[in-house]
Amino acid sequence: MQKVFEKIKVGLEKQEISNRKLAKITKISHTAINKIMNGGYTPDFIVFIKIIQLAYPDDLEKQKESLRSYCEHMSPVNTRIALEFLSMYGDVELLEEVIKKSEILFDEVKKEKKRLSKSLHTNKQLVDLYSLLCKRSTMSISSKEYYVNVKDMLKSCKITSEEVKVISEFALIYSFMDSFDYKVAREYTERLIPYIEQVKNSTLNRLYKFRAQEVLLNCYHRANDTEMTRMILQKIIDDADNHYIGMLAGAYCVLGETYVFSDFTQAKLYMEKALEIIKVPTNKKLKTRKENIKTTLDFLYILHEIDLHLIQPTHPAEQAFLLAKLKRFDEAIGLLEALLAKNGELSAIQHYYLGYTYLKKGDTDISKIHFEESLEKFKKTSDFFYIKLPMEYKN
């Protein structure tokens, strides 16, 4: 690591950041920073990320190169921090490397016919859970397969630490999110918070709280609890220790969504801010997050019938909604029916789009069927925010 820190020193000097200034930025004592920069002390994973971001602000490759070197020398606790951070940040490539290195270490201990220490045993359980979360993130398994794997893992896994308890519960919570059961996801997350408080490592404690905030934000938003939604949003936006740009962008998008039905200008302002935060996505998760924000912004324009001839939605559902607004009803129906054929069903909002299209086309009987289907699906998933759409045409 000494060679890595020698290069980092050069990078910090170019940015005119002295050790004293670095200590102030990272909120670490000047003495500790001197030890870190001289190779006498290894900082925790998050502090190291702060340092390399300061040293190489515009060089993602140098940041990754430094991070890979760091990952070669991680303690068991820093391995846990790395697994959590990389999972939430969405750097699947580096996450998989950390998982693979950990599995090699477990195998080496096994070959020597030794028992894993308590700390390594905890890491082995966490690696299994993060591997599953990684598969979910990359969509290499279906939502159903993911749920079955989570249930099987929870049955066979003897939970021996707060960290394993927290991540195993989050794994289950995401299966509820995947089935759009926001009410149950919220209940489980709120019950999990006291266990997060018991996690002794302050960095992990903080990272788990970020994960909980992101889940609760989406759940309260879908429950149409604007006050709680905006309260959580403010915490996320104001937290200087939150390094998850995808989470921050998502927060601004949800803030914009809270104005979707009432204030086009305000909603647009926050959604554009969200897109600005992920200007250049550095991984697949951030790319998907940016695409989803763009789709939400397209929906906003279409809903308020603004610049309809200028916007270019990429998702077929929003393309259909746009075509319906442009009175190209048959094309809209064709797109939505193609989605139905591909997926075997339509989502709540897609049923709304189809109902709206048939209504404007003049077929009120068919439109009523789809509005009712939309309404029922929104109710089933406890989505009381977007349920406003079919509710408008309930009678």
1-73: which CATH number, 1.10.3470, 1.10.760, 1.10.8, 1.10.260?
1.10.260
- pLDDT at position 115 is 82
Q: What is the mean pLDDT of residues 116-128?
A: 91
Q: What is the mean pLDDT of the chain?
A: 93
C-alpha distances (whole Å) from 197 to each of 172, 207, 209 are: 19, 11, 9
pLDDT tops 90 at residue 359: yes
105 has pLDDT over 80: yes
Each residue's pLDDT tens digit, 195-220:
999 999 999 999 999 999 999 999 99
What is the distance between the alpha carbons of residues 300 and 99, in angstroms, rounded to a whole number?
40
To the nearest 10°, report the CA torsion of 289, 183, 173, 143: -70
List, for residues 4-40, the tens digit of each pLDDT value: 888 999 999 999 999 999 999 988 899 999 998 888 8
Q: What is the pTM (predicted TM-score) of this model?
A: 0.89
Is the pLDDT confidence value at 239 over 70?
Answer: yes
Q: Hey, where are the domains in the chain? A: 1-73, 74-205, 315-395
CATH ID of 315-395, from 1.25.40.10, 1.10.1740.10, 1.10.150.240, 3.10.20.30: 1.25.40.10
Nearest CA to 355 out of 339, 333, 385 is that of 333
